[in-house]
Amino acid sequence: MASFNPVKIFSGSQSTYLAEKIAHYYGKDLGGYTCRRFSDGEMSPSFEESVRGCDVFLIQSTPPPGDNLMELLLMVDAARRASAHYVTVVIPYFGYARQDRKDKPRVAIAAKLVANMLQAAGVDRLMTIDLHAGQIQGFFDFPVDHLEGTSVFVPYIKSLALENLIIASPDVGGAGRARTFAKHFNAEIVLCDKHRKRANEIASMQVIGDVEGMNVVLVDDLIDTGGTLCKAAQILLDKGAKSVRAVCTHPIMSGKAHENIANSVLEELVIADTLPLSQANPKIRVLSVAELFAKAIGRIRDHESISSLFIRY
């Protein structure tokens, strides 16, 4: 049974570029919203139209700095205080997801803290894509719709008609992600085993598996500085790979990422538009997930299954 509550879609300051495309595919204009700032940077968001009794979708990725997350929390609170019927946050890139466990003493579990803050603000539902670790969904006590980037990446890779295709993970932790991706092509996987000195700095890396004469596709959920990805690509090519390209959902692209990609042996880097690129790069191909999110919003509105949007093996 379809919902009779009006649907309204709003975008935070960080994700307007993507929210406009989502709203277009959904068939509605973005709702009126402004975020004023005091001289010290304090934010004061407000909706410029009524949301009373509406099913509200708030679109905002939450990469650092914390302003993006804080603005989203304030948007949720404003919607709640304006008597919105149901508040869904659409977070294309869920920031702080890399801190999903205690990997050493005396550290925070930031992903859980963000989940707690979203719940405290009054969120009813979360929609996101390709979390760093799927188990992060368990941090939430409300429904989470976890979309899959394979819905846009797999058709593109298939369109290349690559022979002798093999899927690779740039680290052992991504083995499950690579295996899932490989099933769409009935392909084998190889792993790059890395050891880090510290964050964003790799001490050593080795390849587990044979890539001689193969067209390799590296698969990861995000690319930050690109150091791991570029080093993995070089090692795979040194091991006899015919070509190496990469698929990463979230383009954080910090530091010298663009320079690293441009100077790497990668044929291309295929990314989603969950985050905006700071500059053009001839080696980067962007595939949009806007239509995927729009369809998911429609299914939530109509109380239909989200899993019908996933590509099956």
Active site (catalytic) residues:
194
Consult the annotation and say whether 132 binds a ligand.
yes
pLDDT at 118: 98
The number of residues making up the chain comes to 313
Consult the annotation and say whether 196 binds a ligand.
yes
Residues 49, 80: contact at Cβ < 8 Å? no
Whether the full predicted model's pTM is greater than 0.75, yes or no, is: yes
Consult the annotation and say whether 34 binds a ligand.
no
Within the chain, where are the H helices?
Answer: 16-26, 67-81, 110-121, 150-159, 175-183, 227-238, 257-262, 290-301
Tell me the longest C-alpha to C-alpha distance in the chain.
Answer: 61
User: What does the pLDDT look like over 83-139, one tens digit per residue?
Assistant: 999 999 999 999 999 999 998 999 999 999 999 999 999 999 999 999 999 999 999
pLDDT at 200: 54
Which distant-in-sequence residues (6+ apart) come within 8 Å of 167 by Cβ? 178, 179, 181, 182, 185, 187, 188, 189, 190, 216, 217, 219
User: What does the pLDDT look like over 250-267, one tens digit per residue?
Assistant: 999 999 999 999 999 999
* Residue ranges, the chain, pLDDT below 70: 1-3, 195-203, 313
Consult the annotation and say whether 279 binds a ligand.
no
Consult the annotation and say whether 224 binds a ligand.
yes
Supply φ then ψ for residue 143, to 5 degrees.
-60, 140
